[in-house]
Structure 1
Amino acid sequence: MNGNRFGRLFQVTTYGESHGDAMGVTVSGCPAGLELDESDVQAELDRRKPGQSMITTSRGEPDAVSINSGTQDGYTTGTPIGMVIENKDARSGKYEPFVTAPRPSHGDFTYSAKFGTRNWGGGGRSSARETVNWVAAGAIAKKILEREGIQVKAHVNQIGDIEAPPVTFEEMLEHTEKNEVRCAHPETAERMRDRIDEYQKAGDSIGGSIYFEARGVPRGLGAPRFDSFPARLGKAMFSIPATTSFEFGLGREAREWTGSDRNEDWEFSEDGDPVPEGNTHGGLQGGITTGQPIYGEATWHAPTSIPKTQKTVDWETGEEKEIQVVGRHDPVLPPRAVPVVEAMLNLTIVDFMLLGGRINPDRLDGRPGEYATEYHPSSPDNE
């Protein structure tokens, strides 16, 4: 199975299945000299882990991370960073009825049709459980970007038909983590919570969306066409399970704007550089960053694992049957997807920063030690 690696210079390779022994990720391309320990990664994993509230799955995973390579004395060494998160609360027995009877709208049949086999416990590799690896890797990218003055934040801006009004970046920083819905508009968060309760009590689920924003990203990242910034970011967002749309800037609204309305005149900044007068393009023009805030939105469909009675077929017996997907599942996805979105945005940005030469790919400044300024591992004299 391919498709287990993300990034070009900052490469993330993952393994693990929902009900396997553990999840794991290897991060290659992190420069040496970054101060890093398990608490840095754990802080992000705690935001994603299950069992945080009544609107998340009750699966009791501590998601405790162990860093087993790539660091020495609290700093990265430049070699691959290996991290493991053990699965502690897997219960595969409830999935046995679906071995040959696919659950509606899951990847059960498509995986079996492609590979001739699959790990059916909890959805195996197709489960969103796998995103724990991405959040762990994203925590490292976040630490690198913080050194560069780059901030990334997201919040839930819509659940079902309840939509939050626009909020500022500062409001997202202040309010997102203060409620279980992760909506930065407190009044709307309460209405969202009530709506989720309604669907949960009815044995159903509901979809929603997440607004994201990045501040401090320099101009000049990205390239035309296949390596454009939005193309790579779109790949990152669509990799998240259950994502159905991704947009930046005006997004879908752009189809209603005329060229004269959307086009932004150029002016000089205080530093004397040309800058667009506005930012309807979401910080991206020609597939390349403008230096303005990057912002956009991604949408998730309702979780497909619901306790309502549904119909399926058993491809082994040839029978039609009614099933109930009994287990521990989220009634809505965006609240736990917020840290995943932030992780994928961080990973995308740091990869472009390395590719564009904005970050030294070999080592970061500030690593204490005798050879902090003289020793260069990549030079011919030291091979």
Structure 2
Amino acid sequence: MSTFGTLFRVTTYGESHCASVGAIIDGCPPGLPLVAQDVQTQLSRRRPGQSNLTTPRDEKDLVHLQSGIEHGVTLGTPIGLLVRNEDQRPKDYSETDLYPRPSHADWTYLEKYGVKASSGGGRSSARETIGRVAAGAIAEKYLKMAYGIEIVAFVSSVGKVSLPSVASPPSQVPDDEDDVVEDALSPEFVELLRTVTREKVDAQPTRCPHAETSERMIKRILRAKDANDSIGGTVTCVIRGVPAGLGEPVFDKLEAKLGHAMLSIPATKAFEIGSGFRGTQVPGSRHNDAFVRRADGGLGTRTNWSGGVQGGISNGEDIYFRVGFKSPATITQPQETAQYDGTPGVLAARGRHDPCVVPRAVPIVEAMAALVIMDQVLIQNARKTASSLLPPITTLPPTMVKPPKAEGEGEKKQ
């Protein structure tokens, strides 16, 4: 469906070549300072035409806030926003009247609905993500103001070109010594997750915060572009400052919600959280995150291979995950395929398309992460408020009940 979230609900609308795209956001708390520029910053990071690494479609993606805000403050009522489509070329898609584009959604949409958009992929186009990014920017502002939460995503690989610190290289050891392995993630990668900022990410056109790797990525993307081809990659995201206790077992675990959100983004094919698949190669004795006392008296973990989530619930550590994006389906290179009626033929698609989507996917990943955390924060706060109206629990052993915090303990640092 086109709606995401439980208490913070976002409904997006629009096709790639219709009059406008946008969203309705329901459940935003009242009293949040909000102006168009708060949303525009992220939309401008997502928009096409940013460099020769992206589609040349020239859209400014200017947001128009329609409702739910007065005098720069949210009212608690639904927020409506729209972005007009301006640089449209439907004639570039006339060949899709005959051919379903290989690995695109033309065929599946037609099979599902019996009718499809005539150009640009319709709802399957990444143009739909404008509404998500706008809504995510609103959620992110609340999370920053209320909890100090920071969300930073970056490109970690393009094709076979990847950050040198993504993971320690697999150890080549005999089978009888296969427990002798490196840590699940390299110290360099752990440090990157702790310190990376959007400023460092945006300093490179690829949005990879490592200049040397970024240069190699540029060459790989341009090689695909020059060959009228495309290439995929991965985006890594870290969420810092998340409170413990978010996530709704058993079917709505936090990592399940994050996976749902990320795999709903166009062109995604993979999701892993924490140490991910690499963690399957590490013995539990080395992979377990031992608990330690924090400076504030609470519990933390010495390592964070869990990626900030245990038992489907946030544990207060940084949450990090990686999303895999396939090579864009629409390419201008001639491809042998079949028409809708099964007649063999050759399709050389036209139009303006990204040779690699990952640089522009960064704010989309951040937005979907913000939507998940925002929804879970509201759900957990509703539970805590309902519980606070009851008398303190005195009938259970102390080990079964969380002790009350001392006055001032656990408050957000300004």
TM-score for the superposition, normalised by structure 2: 0.84
Q: 70-79 or 253-262: which moved more?
A: 253-262
Match of 1:124 among 122, 142, 146: 122
TM-score for the superposition, normalised by structure 1: 0.91
The 5 Å alignment of 1:205-224 reads: 205-224=230-249
Cα shift at 1:172: 3.5
- Distance in 2 (alpha carbons) for counterparts of 1:340 and 1:225: 27
Gaps of 5+ in 2: 166-188, 386-414
What code does the residue aligned with 1:204 have?
D
- Distance in 1 (alpha carbons) for counterparts of 2:244 and 2:220: 41
- Distance in 2 (alpha carbons) for counterparts of 1:135 and 1:173: 15
Match of 1:333 among 354, 357, 361: 357
Match of 1:25 among 23, 26, 35: 23
Q: 260-269 or 41-50: which moved more?
A: 260-269
After superposition, the Cα gap between the structure-2 partners of 1:353 and 1:279, relative to the gap in structure 1 and judged at 3 Å, is same
The 5 Å alignment of 1:270-349 reads: 270-316=295-341, 318-349=342-373
Deviation track 1:83-121 (CA, whole Å, cap 9, x = no partner) reads 010000111112121124200000011110111101131
Aligned: 1:246 with 2:271: yes
In 2, are the aligned partners of 1:354 and 1:360 still within 8 Å (CA)? no
The 5 Å alignment of 1:49-128 reads: 49-128=47-126
The 5 Å alignment of 1:169-180 reads: 169-180=194-205
What code does the residue aligned with 2:103 have?
S
- Distance in 2 (alpha carbons) for counterparts of 1:315 and 1:190: 41
- Distance in 1 (alpha carbons) for counterparts of 2:36 and 2:301: 41
| Aligned partner of residue 307 in structure 1, secondary structure | coil
Deviation track 1:304-332 (CA, whole Å, cap 9, x = no partner) reads 1111111222234x421101011100000
After superposition, the Cα gap between the structure-2 partners of 1:360 and 1:70, relative to the gap in structure 1 and judged at 3 Å, is farther
Match of 1:351 among 375, 389, 405: 375
* Structure 1 counterpart of 2:152: 153
- Distance in 1 (alpha carbons) for counterparts of 2:355 and 2:106: 20
In 1, are the aligned partners of 2:30 and 2:75 still within 8 Å (CA)? yes
* Structure 2 counterpart of 1:381: none
In 2, are the aligned partners of 1:108 and 1:120 still within 8 Å (CA)? no
Deviation track 1:341-361 (CA, whole Å, cap 9, x = no partner) reads 000001111111111108999
After superposition, the Cα gap between the structure-2 partners of 1:136 and 1:360, relative to the gap in structure 1 and judged at 3 Å, is farther
- Distance in 2 (alpha carbons) for counterparts of 1:204 and 1:315: 23
- Distance in 2 (alpha carbons) for counterparts of 1:181 and 1:123: 25
* Structure 2 counterpart of 1:373: none
Cα shift at 1:195: 1.2
Q: Percent identity over the alignment?
A: 45
What code does the residue aligned with 2:368 have?
M
Aligned: 1:183 with 2:208: yes
- Distance in 1 (alpha carbons) for counterparts of 2:241 and 2:318: 7
- Distance in 1 (alpha carbons) for counterparts of 2:104 and 2:312: 33
In 1, are the aligned partners of 2:152 and 2:196 still within 8 Å (CA)? no
In 2, are the aligned partners of 1:283 and 1:293 still within 8 Å (CA)? yes
* Structure 2 counterpart of 1:263: 288
Cα shift at 1:173: 3.4
- Distance in 2 (alpha carbons) for counterparts of 1:193 and 1:134: 27
In 1, are the aligned partners of 2:66 and 2:81 still within 8 Å (CA)? yes
Match of 1:229 among 249, 254, 257: 254
Cα shift at 1:241: 0.6
Cα shift at 1:259: 1.7
**Total equivalences in the alignment:** 358
- Distance in 1 (alpha carbons) for counterparts of 2:329 and 2:194: 32
Cα shift at 1:11: 0.3
In 2, are the aligned partners of 1:245 and 1:300 still within 8 Å (CA)? yes
- The alignment yields a C-alpha RMSD, in angstroms, of 1.5
Gaps of 5+ in 1: 362-383
| Aligned partner of residue 26 in structure 1, secondary structure | strand
What code does the residue aligned with 1:17 have?
E
In 2, are the aligned partners of 1:175 and 1:186 still within 8 Å (CA)? no
Cα shift at 1:262: 1.2
What code does the residue aligned with 1:251 have?
G
